[in-house]
Structure 1
């Protein structure tokens, strides 16, 4: 369900399980559980190193997450200093300018627009994604996508040969090599 709107996810689960509940009631119950889980959210291994590296080298960065703003705030609370490096460049799934959820490219196109870099082509943008729909979204935006599959929610057999359009799939951000994408190499 990663990368889908909560309404879409609720409808899929209700249909698949046949439970007698409205999507709204389902989401209310799930959201209470999510809050408790999100309070314990941890960074992906290698995320802090990558973010600080890009920031140090003045590479523009943005976050484009399907999470609604309140959930993003809960997830990122333990890492406020790190996420402050993004400034205001955070676009969430409940943003008033968004009309479509991933796999629509809209969230990535909006995040890029907000960076204020009109001379940068979409193909020069690099997306890091952990969800199928996010990979498709970045691909649909014409951006290069590095997929870090979340193996809690998929297996190797779920990863198709075409990688859903991802440029590359890596097991962890620890395996990312910035120089492969024209970025400064890590300062080991």
Structure 2
């Protein structure tokens, strides 16, 4: 069931969710603004050809491993794959230094870490790009128990919307929690589908243009992580001063 941030009363909303013990986060478009920068880079590559990187194609790409995203784009616009990847890599290098945390991220991660809530990342990135994207915030990202990347880790046989990425991530926690005890934070519809297929609840923070109908299966839909209330899922609430 999906609800906007303020669409139901707090005392009713708490009844809709099940308590969890572990949290799994996507990276791109949820924790850092890498999706926006990547979209800008792709559009710069397409400009000389007169193409527009449209919303529908962006949604089809979001959540997929990076190699599959490239396949979709070069096939859609009949581009040379080598040239496209080379240009994208060059543009991305300059942008990684400008990546910013998205609203509410730092507060939430520090809060969960302070209360010893186990956290991990389950992302579609590959290892090299993950390290480059997170280097600026390496100290903050130390709060995560582990990272699983479907773009590099062989244990993830199928990318999203298959549940492999989140099942693999959950299995690496020391406590080996049941899927129902894991809460996934996602920004893509494919990630939402993968989390639900894994038997997990999912908090979706999508692009504002994503329709309510498309995200209707999300456990909770938010405009940003600033709106997240941990206590709805049985997690320690924010302190008033935080």
C-alpha contact 1:64 1:91 (8 A) present in aligned 2: yes
Cα distance, 1:160 vs structure 2: 3.8
Q: Cα gap change, 1:49/1:36 in structure 2, threshold over 3 Å: closer, same or farther?
A: same
Moved more, 121-130 or 2-11: 2-11
Q: Please name the residue that 1:113 is paired with.
A: 171
C-alpha contact 1:178 1:184 (8 A) present in aligned 2: yes
Question: Unaligned regions of 5+ residues in structure 1, if any?
Answer: none
Normalising by structure 1, we get a TM-score of 0.88
Partner Cα distance (1:111, 1:138) in 2: 11
Q: Please name the residue that 1:12 is paired with.
A: 72
Residues 1:175 and 2:227 are matched in the alignment: yes
Q: Please name the residue that 2:98 is paired with.
A: 40
Question: Unaligned regions of 5+ residues in structure 2, if any?
Answer: 1-60
Spell out, residue by residue over 1:114-149, the C-alpha distance to the aligned partner (whole angstroms, 9 max, x if none): 11223x221121011111211111111111100011
Q: Please name the residue that 2:184 is paired with.
A: 127
Q: Please name the residue that 2:124 is paired with.
A: 66
Partner Cα distance (1:36, 1:164) in 2: 37
Partner Cα distance (1:128, 1:75) in 2: 18
Cα distance, 1:164 vs structure 2: 5.7
Spell out, residue by residue over 1:97-128, the C-alpha distance to the aligned partner (whole angstroms, 9 max, x if none): 2221111111111111111223x221121011
C-alpha contact 2:66 2:124 (8 A) present in aligned 1: no
Q: Deviation above 3 Å: which 4+ runs of structure 1?
A: none
Partner Cα distance (2:63, 2:114) in 1: 29
Residue of structure 1 aligned with 2:154, choices 96, 102, 115: 96
Q: CA RMSD of the aligned region, Å?
A: 1.6
Residue of structure 2 aligned with 1:161, choices 191, 213, 219: 213
C-alpha contact 1:135 1:164 (8 A) present in aligned 2: no
Q: How many pairs does the alignment contain?
A: 179
C-alpha contact 1:5 1:66 (8 A) present in aligned 2: yes
Larger relative contact order (CA 8 Å, sep ≥ 6): 2
